[in-house]
Structures are given as structure tokens and as C-alpha cells.
Amino acid sequence: MTARPAGPLVGVFALQGDVAEHERVLAGLGARVRPVRSAADLEGLAGLVLPGGESSVMDKLSRLLGVAPALRQAIDAGLPVYGTCAGMIMLAETIANPIVGQRSLGGLDITVQRNAFGAQVDSFETWLDVPQVSREPVHAVFIRAPAVLRASGEVQVLASVPASRLESGRTAGGEVPVAVRQGHLLATSFHPEVTGDWSFHRYFLERMVSPSGS
């Protein structure tokens, strides 16, 4: 019997957040998964996921434990990275409303607003048309989610929601980006790891992590 080829080795930043949920989805799609808690854990990875959670806590722990510089170095070196919710905030070059002392890893040329859609009680679900990612609408869950306030011309907007959803702009017109890609970096405001919709993880693995990805 011919052995099944090993899937790509993908790390999940594991100091805080929805670690197990992402690990389960990635493994279900055939990837080998490694929790990342130190700089050494980044060695040999084909991709990395920054999960949802508390962005300020993730930032503080990554710097306290000395992982942040290695993460930024990996981003600068071209490692494919997918950030969800808090992970989007970690990847953003600018945070519009950080808590005192909060930093981001950067790499993704966007400005984000933390908790842009309101508090936990304002969480909502919707379906998004994301033709670059899936032929079918994508089920998205927003929980204290960030929003993209600014995106450079190099950033590809994959999905948006009405700006009226924003806590600070209930009557605003237009749309606000909630899924973006810039080269080897992908980010979503929402939590695909909790919905059973694996479209974005599959896109990340097949189009960005694999050698044949675009």
C-alpha cells in the first residue's frame, strides 16, 4: 500500500485563544499541526495560524516570552500566516484603539479597530459571498470582532459587511472589510474555526501554504 503523502506542517500560536479549534480544522484538512509557544517552534513550518482570543493578552505574552521578534521575522521572511479576529489585530500594521502599551506584529498594511461591532452581546452571524475563497456563501460568526478601517492598495479585500453593523456607525453607509489578503498574509474579522465552515482554512492551505499555491 502506498503511503499517503504527509501534509504541510502548520503552526498554531498557542499562548492564548482558540487553539484547539484551529488545530482540529487544520488536521481535518490533512495538515500536520504544531502548537507554537516559542521561537524554536517556528522552525520548519510551512504556515502559521494566529487564532482568535484577546489580542492584548496575546501581544503581552508574545513579548514577555520572547516570541514576538521571531514571529515578526517569520512574517518578514514570507511565512504564510492566517489571523482570525485577534489574529487580524496582531497582523495589522496599525491598531486604531489599542489599550495602553498594546502593540501588533504588523506585516498587513491595514488599520483595524478592536471590538468594532460591539461587545459580546452584539455578536452576530451572517453569510458572506467570497468568490475567491468559496463557490458557496461562507458562514461567518463575529464575536467582539475587529473591522478594517483602512487598507492599502496592496491589500485585497475578500469580503465586507455593511458599515451599519459597526458599533460607532449604525447609520453609516458603505461597507467595511472583514476578510483581507496581502501576499502571504490572510486575515478575517470572524471565527471560521467555530462554524464548521472550513473554506478559509482550505483556501489558506491550498492557495497559500502549498508549493502550488498562488
Catalytic residues, which ones? 85, 191, 193
- Residue of 110, 46, 39, 43 whose CA lies nearest to 71: 39
Question: What is d(CA 28, CA 22) in angstroms, rounded to the nearest whole number?
Answer: 10
- Residue of 146, 150, 143, 149 whose CA lies nearest to 126: 143
| Residue 19 near residue 36, CB atoms below 8 Å | no
| Residue 179 near residue 189, CB atoms below 8 Å | yes
Question: What is d(CA 154, CA 170) in angstroms, rounded to the nearest whole number?
Answer: 28
| Residue 159 near residue 86, CB atoms below 8 Å | no
The amino acid present at 55, given as its one-letter code, is: S
